[in-house]
Chains A and B, each alone.
Chain A
Amino acid sequence: MASGTITSSEYITHHLTNLTYGNHPDKGWIFAENGQEASEMGFMAINVDSMLWSVGLGIVFVWLFAKIAKNATTGVPGGAQNFIEMIVEFVDDNVKSVFHHKNSIIAPMALTIFVWVFLMNLMDLIPVDWIPHAAALAGIHYMKIVPSTDLNVTLGLALAVFILIIFYSIQQKGIGGFLAELSLQPLGKWALPFNLFLELVGLIAKPISLALRLFGNMYAGEMIFILIALLPFWAQWLLSVPWALFHILIITLQAFIFMVLTIVYLAMAHDHH
């Protein structure tokens, strides 16, 4: 619940502002004091909260999985190993059903995407005020703990996937093959400019849709949690509990969609037409 001294709109804005460190044109390298300053910093700025939370969660993922993998027994697995293996098999099944080429990067990358995105989304279920309040007490003004509500994070993931799409397209088909694929279909060589336009839009749409889908879902979900937090404290649970339960489904689904689409796009990059 917002304290009495700030308005609802200030509360919402506060909760949706990243902690940004960057080069301000007038003030030099500082932590932005508000969203306005953060946008004035332009590209030479970094969202410290997004980076810390996403890297921290990534470390949780690799630490947990590597620890289990190191001690993996081939006999009867324990509870934790069983759970991890379940996830790995789930990802592996998805990769095998879609991706039929030989590539040792795809499956580990799919696993990384699935678990990492899931963990980042999971931060959404932590009550919206807890950590920002704790940060405020420690003197940190902004603290947005769900990295996947930061477009930079989702777009970063999507761009990495996009780079791989381009890389494998060229590696598998050669530059000529890739350009031919972009320009000689669907209508044949006489409609080359039209084909090129169509295919380029399709190509660019892949990372954009990947990034915006995840960002949009998480941002909207977080927004609703914040709006619920504006209600009187005794009424919040009526909405926040059902929404949180529903959100468990959404965060898993979004992580799954991101993973599957990544696999599909990379499979398409490997396929010869």
Chain B
Amino acid sequence: MSINMTIIGQIISFVIFVLICMKYVWPPLTAALAERQKKIAEGLDAADKAGRELEAAQQSVEAELQESKARAAELIEQANKRANQIIDEAKASAQSEGDRIKAAAEAEIEQEVNRAKEALRSQVAILAVAGAEKILGASVDMKNHQELVDELAAEL
């Protein structure tokens, strides 16, 4: 166990190994590590950004959806209003049409009644005259008694 030249050999080999390590080992490895670190940082940044964009997109989708819902509700409201209006109009026009038809029918009926009355009246007058002739036994001069008959007919 004595100190000898091994110590010098050891120093020399140590220096050589350190130099090799400095030149061929350390720089490429630390460069690779730094590069990877950078890549990872960039990746994380990108992920962050994408997350934020996604959130913004979701928010805009939400807003859009809200707006379309409101629009749809508005449209339905309008349609309902319009439908009610149409129904009301239809009701009104049906009502007036009915009234008109009814009035026309009533007028016609009255006309018919009047006409029937007229006819009946003249018939009654003729029958009355014929009856009177039979009773009196003589014919009643229609001309002379026209006035009387008309009066009679009017009274009926």
Enumerate chain A interface residues (CB-CB to B < 8 A): 16, 18, 20, 22, 35, 38-39, 41-47, 50-51, 54-55, 58, 61-62, 65-66, 68-70, 72-75, 77, 84-85, 88-89, 92, 104-105, 107-109, 111-112, 116, 150-153, 155-157, 159-160, 163
Contact = CB atoms under 8 A, between A and B. Distances in A.
A20 B2 CA distance: 10
Nearest to B28: A69
B2 A66 contact: no
B153 to A, nearest CB: 126
Given A43-B4, A65-B29, A107-B30, 10 more contacts: A38-B2, A46-B6, A47-B6, A54-B13, A69-B24, A69-B28, A74-B36, A88-B26, A88-B29, A159-B11
Nearest to B35: A74
A198 to B, nearest CB: 26
B20 A88 contact: no
Given A70-B24, A105-B18, A151-B1, A84 B6 contact: no
B68 interface: no
Nearest to B10: A156
B5 interface: yes
A198 B17 CA distance: 34
A152 B11 CA distance: 10
Interface string B117-142: 00000000000000000000000000
B7 A159 contact: yes
Nearest to A74: B35
> DSSP majority for the A interface?
helix
Given A41-B4, A44-B4, A111-B26, A88 B33 contact: yes
Interface of B: 1-11, 13-18, 20-22, 24-26, 28-33, 35-36, 39
B4 A42 contact: yes
B11 A160 contact: yes
8 contacts: A45-B2, A51-B6, A62-B25, A74-B39, A77-B36, A152-B10, A157-B11, A160-B10
A69 B28 CA distance: 6
Contact of A151 (B3, B25, B29): B3
Contacts of B20: 62, 66
Contact of A66 (B11, B14, B16, B25): B25
A152 B9 CA distance: 9
A75 B24 CA distance: 20
A39 B2 contact: yes
Given A20-B4, A155-B3, A62 B26 contact: no
